[in-house]
Structure 1
Amino acid sequence: MNKLFSFLLVTAVICTGCSGPSIEDYADKSPRFVAEEFFSGPMKAYGVVKDRSGKVTRKFIAELDGSWEDGRGLLREKFEFDDGEIQYRNWQLVPASQKDISPRQYVATAGDVVGNSTLSVAGNAVFMRYVLEVPYKGRTINVDVDDQMFLIAPNILLAESKLTKWGFNVGEIQLTIIK
């Protein structure tokens, strides 16, 4: 019985310690991120992909172009990796909450994303979690992605994506988007 109690206590402490910051923690931070402004027009992104040990395995440059019509956004992305691979992703962004509610939320979908994602915005932060279909050894696997992005200047967004499979770290993406 003592061993079971100890195990449950340690598990509870570990799970509590693993929870990261909440989007609401950034509600008073500036500059304020407004999706309809930042994700509008051409942008360029520069980034790296890291494996689970933190080693950079690939780098990329991406061209992004955003547009909005009737309150709905389209963010077109073209990634060019240093090994010659090119990937495309088109995000559809549909407001899910009122403009004056924090965090502001959008339903986000893309062709290689499983189901819907929620993009949440508060202050200078943008958080999004989704399941991405990733090509791997001639097949496709699903990877959980936890994006945290921060507007550090009106035209610069820093992003970090943690990639996990079955709860285990499998990699990370770091990038900078310049408007």
Structure 2
Amino acid sequence: MKTLLMLFTALMLSACAGVDIEHYAKQKPVLDLPQYFNGTLDAWGVFQKRNGEVARRFKVEIVASWQGDTGTLDERFVYDDGEKQRRVWTLKRQPDGSWRGTADDVKGEAIGRVAGNALHWTYTLRLPVDGTVYEVAFDDWMWLMDDKTMLNRSRMSKFGVDLGEVTLFFQKRT
């Protein structure tokens, strides 16, 4: 019985592991963060509850700039109910090629890796909801589709429980 329980636990943990970023290493076009996130970008997105219902829609204007291996992404959100938010990310390339990111509403650092056309971020966001701030884990994937278009899908969870998904479509201005 103990062996069966250990096997079941191992299977459950491996099912939660997800895709390794290296799976995308040969995918084109190759994502160069400073090249793509430079200048002004527009994004449109939705938040879906875990049952699939779209709970919020939003538009984002992003103004991005770089100094060496450090980038600033100034994001201005406008939600379908008129609410406005601002998040300013500071991104830093690490010596091993990974990325670290900080923002005022991110607890600690976002940690990311790029391979091929993909970026995978993990971080904890302090999310205000109805006067209470929740710390929510984000498992954030971005895929470069072409030189102007990126798709982003983030899974949100708390204590390992799925809360929903955020999907965004980015378009770089010409």
The TM-score, its normalising length taken from structure 1, stands at 0.93
Matches within 5 A, 1:34-73: 34-73=32-71
The whole-number CA distance in structure 2 between the counterparts of 1:155 and 1:9 is 46
For this pair of structures, how many residues does the alignment match? 172
For the 8 Å contact 1:97–1:106, the answer to whether it is kept is: no
Counterpart in 1 of 2:134? 141
What whole-Å deviation, never above 9, does each CA across 1:45-90 have from its counterpart, x for those lacking one? Answer: 0110011211110111100010001321001101111011111111
Secondary structure of 1:131 counterpart: strand
Select 2:91's aligned residue among 90, 93, 98.
93
The residue identity in structure 2 corresponding to 1:176 is: F
What whole-Å deviation, never above 9, does each CA across 1:90-115 have from its counterpart, x for those lacking one? Answer: 110111025xxxxx311110000000
Q: Matched residues, percent identical?
A: 36
The TM-score, its normalising length taken from structure 2, stands at 0.95
Counterpart in 2 of 1:7? 5
Greater displacement, 6-15 / 158-167: 6-15
For the 8 Å contact 1:79–1:88, the answer to whether it is kept is: yes
Matches within 5 A, 1:26-175: 26-97=24-95, 104-175=97-168
Q: CA RMSD in A?
A: 1.0
The residue identity in structure 1 corresponding to 2:140 is: D
Secondary structure of 1:48 counterpart: strand
The whole-number CA distance in structure 2 between the counterparts of 1:118 and 1:129 is 6
Structure 2: gaps spanning 5 or more residues = none
Which aligned runs of 4 or more in structure 1 are off by greater than 6 angstroms? none
Secondary structure of 1:49 counterpart: strand
